[in-house]
Amino acid sequence: MMNRYEGLLILNVNGNDEGAKEIIERLEGEFKKAGAVVEQVQKMGSRQFTYAAGDLQSGYYANFVFQLAPASLATIQSKLKLDADVYRQHYLRISHKKAA
């Protein structure tokens, strides 16, 4: 059974927003390799961080909506954790609305 997820990824584009398109396309390919059905990709643009937790002062935000088996989510999380272009990642399961 596949669950529906929303994944917010903060990308390290080193101040080059043009490079974000290639990174997003590569990450979308990584999701598909893991067996995900990508429904939507929202490119939210660069934003300054409220406080800097490391060397980075800003990041490029991208929101992925996809369907994936729960066991595969841990695999994709660990794989993207090793990716230098992904600064932060957060996933949220989207619950299915029941018809009344």
Phi/psi region, residue 15 (left: phi>0; alpha: psi -120 to 50; beta: rest), is left
Choose among 13, 30, 19, 3: nearest CA to 91.
3
**Mean pLDDT value across residues 2-13:** 94
| CA distances to 13, 16, 26, 29, 41 from 22, in Å | 10, 11, 6, 11, 13
Give the pLDDT of residue 99. Answer: 52
Rounded Cα distance, 41 and 24, in Å = 9
Q: Give residue-wise pLDDT tens across range 51-87.
A: 877 788 889 999 999 999 999 999 999 999 999 999 9
Beta pairing, strands 3-11 & 58-68: antiparallel
| Residue 13, pLDDT above cutoff 80 | yes
Q: What is the pLDDT of residue 97?
A: 62
Question: Which DSSP letter does residue 94 get?
Answer: E
User: Please, which pLDDT band fits residue 94 given cuts at 50, 70 and 90?
Assistant: very high
- In this structure, what token pair is assigned to residue 65? 């909506």
